[in-house]
Amino acid sequence: MYLLRHVPFAPLLCLTAYLQAAEAPTPVFKQYCVQCHGKTAMGGISLEQLLAQPSVGEGFQHWEKVATALEQKRMPPPALPQPSDAERARAVSWIRTSLKDYAAKHAGDPGKVTVRRLTSGEYAYAVQDLTGLDFKLERDFVPDSAGGEGFTNFGDVQFLGDANLERYLHTAKLIANHAVIGTGPLRFFADPGKTGFELSALNRIQRIYTTYGFRATGAEGARPYNLEMYGKAFYTAWRFKNRKSLGEPAMTLEAMGAQEGLNPRFVQHIWKVVNQSNATYPTSEVTTRWQALPAAPADKAKLREECTKIQQTLINWPRMLFAAGALAAGGAGDERNLVISEETLRGETSHKFRFGTRGRPAKKETVVYLTGLSVNPRSTDKPIVLWQNAKVRFRKADRSAAEEKPLLEVIDEESRKHLTPTADNTGFTTQSDQPIPIRIPFPDGIGGMELQVEAQLLDQGKRDAIVRCTVSDQADVSTGRPVWALLADPASPGYLSWRAGVLEFGANLPQNSQYEAAPADRDPIPPTFDNTYNQPERDRFHTTLKYYRHDDFLMENMLDDKTRVELNQAWSDLLASFDYHEIFIKFLKEKNKPQAEIDRLTAENASIDAELLKAQPGHVEDCLRLASKAWRRPLAPEEKDKLRRFYTSAREGAKMTHNDAIRALISRILVSPAYLFRVEQPLQARPRSPLNNWELASRLSFFLWSTVPDDELRRAAEKGELSDPQQLARQTKRMLADPKARRFASEFFGQWLGFYRFDEYTGADTSRFPEFTDDLKSAMYDESVSFFEYMVRNGRPVRELLQADYTFVNPLLAKHYGMKEIKGETQRVEGANAAQRGGVLRMGSVLTATSAPLRTSPVKRGDWVLRRILGTPTPPPPADAGSIPADDKGFGGLSVKARLKEHMRNAKCAACHSKIDPLGFPFEKYDAVGRLRTTYTDGKPVEDEGGVEGLIQTLKAQEPQVLRNLSYKLIGYALGRTVIASDQPLVDKLVQAGGAATFTQLATEIVTSPQFRFRRGQEPAELAKDVKR
């Protein structure tokens, strides 16, 4: 009032100065408005202040409100003097015209954008993308706050104090501690420090082994894998052999292998092996079959089948030799690793067997099978096995020892017929490839027995016989647990040449391309250790050394050069991760083991040290690359120098180790303002200047992904493509289809619609709603995020925001919602409307977040619709507004609706609540944790005024307003500022795109707008101040 009385024309003068189109209807405002909207600024609006601004642009949102209120005759209040219709119309038209003129004149103004600090969310995502690790940083590890259009990415509310910086420093060091600094390039691993270094190496080794290698027999509990590589390689070799008849004469072996997903080295190897003209046994078993494959043309499917059979042959042969169990074939039982070595192929002239059966409960009898299978095809005669001194020791059902008797005294008559007793009757002979059953009836109370017997080859004349001799209680040895021996004369040439053949087979067509890096029970430990189970040396290996490398076949015949290097580096890292060599050498010396092994280890140790040293300069360069990614631009030469100097002075000045210095350098990169702040450099003294390509890439990436630009964006920026709006549009499309767009769903939609971090929501009273568990919260949060991720990535029309007939639930949430039972993970469910779900209005997260802890709040929900969906919030309630009781149990007979009717009786309340309440009641069918209900806790029926279906119809009719609000939010989020008057043409464009538009379309409009692509230059006044500085 004071202002108007004493200097009435001051504002008017300002206005006329820039507005020639029409004169401001100041007298109208003065007469009818300023009494309340002057100094007192009721509802936060002061026309006095608005008129005093240099342009309508300054208070444009208020001007909009004034125009609407006048237009709808909501103001002045009925009780007060009213302007004439003409006055009203003139005022409204003046406001609208002035705003339009202003917008047209200033359209595309980039506006004032304060430099933005990474939000906690952005920081976490960026770190994830820089290191490949999710550090599960506390979500508020540096406190954020919301501002602008309601988002945390608004520079003016991003503060930085020393406590924040301490957090950044702490977090940067934590991240740096996850760096793996070894013989290879810099990388990061899930576990930190020394442990992480070791595990990272082991992890890389395992990944290479399981990706590129194969195993037919596992260690204990393991499963075979990648065996089909053999079949594919046999097939590839066949195809190459027949390439002319197959009509692909120019095709190389390697190219054919690549089509099967095989490495060139492996197909080359197999090609060589299968084409041998006189392969030794048992390799010949494979080559003969492969060479007999029909020539092309042939049924390819059948041929593949044949190749798989050949593969099976080569797997089966060792299994036969070692009488192995069925594990590798998919069964259970024998988990032996079928190692082919001089040790395992050791032939004996005689062998003492002990074979036992378990004792409980008492049984009537048992059957033991004796087998002497000839395994040398060159030995033509059927070998005869002599069994001597056979004894049976019975065991009672309680396992205590019972009597011991010669075997021949206790077997039944039928069994005796298979045996030929020796002359002195101390033994018997067998001559058969087939298992010979021996039935042993048990005396009363006996449950088990142990058979002891000595076997030897009878006829010493047949010196090249080699017999796989077994004792088992199963006729088929592969299903039981036989005891096994290879009977042969170890000095005979027949045996020796046979063994050479088997060893060659084992080397050329192995069962396993490598052993485990950390040998499990069934993989052999280093030969210098005693491999006997539970013996001190074996235990010592497992507790002190753990690792042993045995992957010659893989290295030699399967890996390409690059992977070889990676594997070597991983092994070097693993062995460098602790005092492997020292421990190993100490053991060897202690036990007087061969000097050659000590020498080998000493040399290996020295070479790993050299490798580590050689890798050091690379790590510094890797850090520079990391800095460039983290800082979102190429580094200037002097910046590179600065970082290098930092490293050097850490090494030389502070005497840090290489590892510590690299970690310090990483920390330093991650606390730099270049990382923490999204700095954009304006060109001086221009009204606006285009952002450079790197700044654009950064804006784009933070807008759509909340993170630093990826390689593709960096490439585009490098090439300068992003100056072209078409390229920006292309990138936008790509990025919003990418899985990383899920972050857009949680960051933008979450903050806009109020389900941000809902999985940590604590507002519901869990003693009243015990079903509101952490799992349910997560499911609700997941529903919301997945819903918007789906909409964005699949180009769904924006109107589905409210109208979608689908939603995302997991079994728990489906049950909570009373929907049809489902199984498995979170999934999209169509036809959700039938279950009264679908769209944001019926999401558990939103329904819960807009409730009080114990009851629903139609006011909060109505306010949510006004504020978040329509963008037309009412002013805050007067300070002395009353309230309704906390608990819907406590209404004393009055329904919520009846209580809220009070609003209508009081004119002060009614002005706003007549707008709020009708938008809140339709949600009443959903309780305070988002479940459907038909009655309140007091049993009274729920009235929901047409329900959410009705509300959706209402909002459909106001679609342009919904879209306008969405546009405000999207523009505000993209630009990190509030929407300003000159944004109106852009807003209009988005609104005009209509409800069928996709988010990609809207985002593209924004991304290609001058607001997004330019930055305001410095005001001349600011520049002048700079000069003085």
- Tell me the helix, strand and coil percentages in the chain, rounded to 5: 50, 10, 40
| Candidate residues 12, 157, 496, 729; the one interacting with another protein per rule CB under 8 A | 157
CB of 478 to another protein, least distance (A): 55
668 or 699: whose CB is closer to another protein?
A: 668
The yes or no reply on residue 160 touching another protein (CB under 8 A) is yes
CB of 92 to another protein, least distance (A): 23
| Candidate residues 108, 356, 494, 877; the one interacting with another protein per rule CB under 8 A | 877
66 or 172: whose CB is closer to another protein?
A: 172
Q: Which of residues 78-137 bind another protein (CB under 8 A)?
A: 112, 114-115, 117
Q: Where are the alpha helices (DSSP H) in 213-282?
A: 228-241, 253-259, 264-274
457 or 785: whose CB is closer to another protein?
A: 785
**Residue in the block written with tokens 């770190």:** 127
630 or 716: whose CB is closer to another protein?
A: 630
157 or 190: whose CB is closer to another protein?
A: 157
The DSSP-derived string for 836-864 is: T--SGGG-HHHHHHTS-SSS--HHHHHHH
The yes or no reply on residue 885 touching another protein (CB under 8 A) is yes
755 or 808: whose CB is closer to another protein?
A: 755
The SS3 of residue 966 is helix
From 38-46, 526-534, 703-711, 948-956, span contacting another protein (CB under 8 A): 38-46
Taking only Cα atoms into account, the Rg of the chain, rounded to an integer number of angstroms, comes to 41
Phi-psi category of 183—alpha, beta or left, where left has phi over 0 and alpha has psi -120 to 50?
A: alpha
CB of 529 to another protein, least distance (A): 42
CA 953, distance to chain mean position in Å, is: 40
680 or 959: whose CB is closer to another protein?
A: 680
The yes or no reply on residue 31 touching another protein (CB under 8 A) is no
Q: Which of residues 648-677 bind another protein (CB under 8 A)?
A: 650, 654, 664, 667-668, 671-674, 676-677
Q: Are the C-beta atoms of residues 257 and 307 closer than 8 Å to each other? A: no
**Residue in the block written with tokens 């607001």:** 1011
| Candidate residues 23, 134, 166, 365; the one interacting with another protein per rule CB under 8 A | 166
539 or 641: whose CB is closer to another protein?
A: 641
Q: What is the DSSP letter of 819?
A: -
Q: How far is CA 857 from CA 185, 319, 865, 895, 929, in A?
A: 57, 72, 13, 12, 12
| Candidate residues 52, 71, 133, 155; the one interacting with another protein per rule CB under 8 A | 155
CB of 146 to another protein, least distance (A): 5
From 323-331, 376-384, 783-791, 876-884, span contacting another protein (CB under 8 A): 876-884
Q: Are the C-beta atoms of residues 65 and 45 closer than 8 Å to each other? A: yes
28 or 846: whose CB is closer to another protein?
A: 846
CB of 510 to another protein, least distance (A): 50
Q: Which of residues 798-857 bind another protein (CB under 8 A)?
A: 852-854, 857
79 or 879: whose CB is closer to another protein?
A: 879
The SS3 of residue 916 is helix
Q: Are the C-beta atoms of residues 839 and 804 closer than 8 Å to each other? A: yes
Residue 29 CA to residue 48 CA, distance in Å, equals 9
161 or 720: whose CB is closer to another protein?
A: 161
The yes or no reply on residue 644 touching another protein (CB under 8 A) is no
Q: What is the DSSP letter of 544?
A: I
Residues with Cβ within 8 Å of 570's Cβ and at least 6 positions away in sequence, in order, are: 184, 201, 202, 204, 205, 208
Residues with Cβ within 8 Å of 567's Cβ and at least 6 positions away in sequence, in order, are: 204, 205, 208, 551, 554, 555, 559
225 or 677: whose CB is closer to another protein?
A: 677
| Candidate residues 87, 101, 156, 530; the one interacting with another protein per rule CB under 8 A | 156
The yes or no reply on residue 881 touching another protein (CB under 8 A) is yes
Residues with Cβ within 8 Å of 950's Cβ and at least 6 positions away in sequence, in order, are: 922
From 151-159, 191-199, 333-341, 497-505, span contacting another protein (CB under 8 A): 151-159
547 or 675: whose CB is closer to another protein?
A: 675
Q: Which of residues 173-202 bind another protein (CB under 8 A)?
A: 173
CB of 210 to another protein, least distance (A): 36
With residue 438 as reference, give the H or E element that holds it.
strand 436-441
CB of 651 to another protein, least distance (A): 12
The yes or no reply on residue 41 touching another protein (CB under 8 A) is yes
**The pair of three-digit structure tokens given for residue 690, joined into one six-digit string:** 């285009």
41 or 729: whose CB is closer to another protein?
A: 41
CB of 47 to another protein, least distance (A): 15
| Candidate residues 79, 163, 423, 957; the one interacting with another protein per rule CB under 8 A | 163
Cα–Cα–Cα angle for 540, 337, 523, nearest 5°? 25
The yes or no reply on residue 884 touching another protein (CB under 8 A) is yes
Binding mask 924-963 for another protein (x = CB under 8 A): ----------------------------------------
From 147-155, 297-305, 419-427, 1004-1012, span contacting another protein (CB under 8 A): 147-155
Q: How far is CA 418 from CA 200, 408, 429, 430, 434, in A?
A: 60, 12, 9, 8, 11
Phi-psi category of 111—alpha, beta or left, where left has phi over 0 and alpha has psi -120 to 50?
A: left
Binding mask 443-462 for another protein (x = CB under 8 A): --------------------
Q: How far is CA 444 from CA 258, 396, 410, 441, in A?
A: 66, 9, 13, 10
Residues with Cβ within 8 Å of 487's Cβ and at least 6 positions away in sequence, in order, are: 347, 348, 349, 350, 351, 372, 383, 385, 455, 456, 457, 465, 466, 467, 468, 469
Which amino acid, one-letter code, is at 542? H
126 or 310: whose CB is closer to another protein?
A: 126
Residue 924 CA to residue 940 CA, distance in Å, equals 12
800 or 983: whose CB is closer to another protein?
A: 983
Binding mask 752-771 for another protein (x = CB under 8 A): --x-xx----xx-x-xx---
138 or 433: whose CB is closer to another protein?
A: 138
408 or 884: whose CB is closer to another protein?
A: 884
Phi-psi category of 983—alpha, beta or left, where left has phi over 0 and alpha has psi -120 to 50?
A: alpha
From 87-95, 163-171, 289-297, 512-520, span contacting another protein (CB under 8 A): 163-171
| Candidate residues 7, 21, 886, 907; the one interacting with another protein per rule CB under 8 A | 886
Helix axes 658-671 and 637-652, enclosed angle (nearest 10): 140
The yes or no reply on residue 221 touching another protein (CB under 8 A) is no
From 34-42, 345-353, 373-381, 600-608, span contacting another protein (CB under 8 A): 34-42
Q: Are the C-beta atoms of residues 593 and 586 closer than 8 Å to each other? A: no
Q: How far is CA 348 from CA 380, 382, 468, in A?
A: 20, 18, 10
The yes or no reply on residue 145 touching another protein (CB under 8 A) is yes
The DSSP-derived string for 100-164 is: HHHHHHHTT-----PPEEPPHHHHHHHHHHHHS------TTSS----BTTTBTT-GGG----HHH
The yes or no reply on residue 590 touching another protein (CB under 8 A) is no
- Total interface residues for another protein by CB under 8 A: 86
The yes or no reply on residue 143 touching another protein (CB under 8 A) is yes
Cα–Cα–Cα angle for 583, 586, 591, nearest 5°? 130
The yes or no reply on residue 894 touching another protein (CB under 8 A) is no
Q: Give the residue from 27, 33, 35 showing the smallest Cα distance to 8.
A: 27
Q: Which of residues 975-1004 bind another protein (CB under 8 A)?
A: 977-978
